[in-house]
Amino acid sequence: MAKYVVTAPNVTLNGTALTSNIAEATLTLNAAEVDVTNAGSNGYREVVGGLKSGELALTLHRDTAAGSVDATIVPLIGSLATAVVKPNGGTTGATNNAFTAVVLVTSYTPVAGAIGDLATATITWPISGAWTIGTAPL
């Protein structure tokens, strides 16, 4: 697949599928920018990559059913959890990599929204440690 319209981001948290409740998913992978500018830089700034980090941001349709969103996330607050994010559907492959990372579940909003709105929760969790990118079809 080349260019595509986002319709099917696939997200699991500690093995629990959240996909059908995902309205938006953003996985950001970063490297810190470390300045190594010196007298030999000829007036230009030089940088190298430093510590790597990242974060997972989700907008979820809240669901209070057993085994669904609330029941999965609330017990994890303050804990590390393994997130697997795939851009476009559940089948891992060369064009649909599986990004696996441990995230720190720092927050969740089990009550939010104006009267008449669809109940949603927006979270941003930092990645702890290394991430991996899987391409093997599952």
Partner 1 sequence: MASIKALRTALATNLGSIAGLRTASSIPEVVNPPIAVVYPAGAPVEYHLASQNATSQFNFEVMIIVGRADARNAQDDLDAYISTTGTKSALLAIELDRTLGGAAFDCVARRVSSYGSTEINNIEYLAATIQVDVIAN
Of the candidate spans 9-17, 26-34, 48-56, 123-131, the one that interacts with partner 1 by CB under 8 A turns out to be 9-17
SS3 3: coil
Residue choice 12, 21, 68, 96 for contact with partner 1 (CB under 8 A) = 21
**Dihedral in degrees, nearest 10, Cα atoms 30, 93, 98, 22:** 110
Query: Smallest gap, in angstroms, from Cβ of residue 71 to partner 1?
Result: 16
Residue 27 binds to partner 1 (criterion: CB under 8 A) = no
Query: Smallest gap, in angstroms, from Cβ of residue 69 to partner 1?
Result: 11
Complex with partner 1: residue 14 or 61, whichever CB lies closer = 61
Cα angle: 130, vertex 16, 136; to 5 degrees: 55
Write out the DSSP string of 12-53: EETTEE-GGGEEEEEEEEEEEEEE---GGGTT---EEEEEEE
Residue choice 10, 12, 68, 96 for contact with partner 1 (CB under 8 A) = 10
Q: What is the DSSP letter of 70?
A: H
Question: Which residue in 135, 52, 132, 56 sits closest to 99, CA to CA?
Answer: 132
Size of the site for partner 1 (CB under 8 A): 15
Residues 60-89 that bind partner 1 (CB under 8 A): 61, 89
Residue choice 1, 4, 20, 110 for contact with partner 1 (CB under 8 A) = 20
Q: Which residues bind partner 1 (CB under 8 A)?
A: 7-11, 19-23, 25, 61, 89, 116, 118
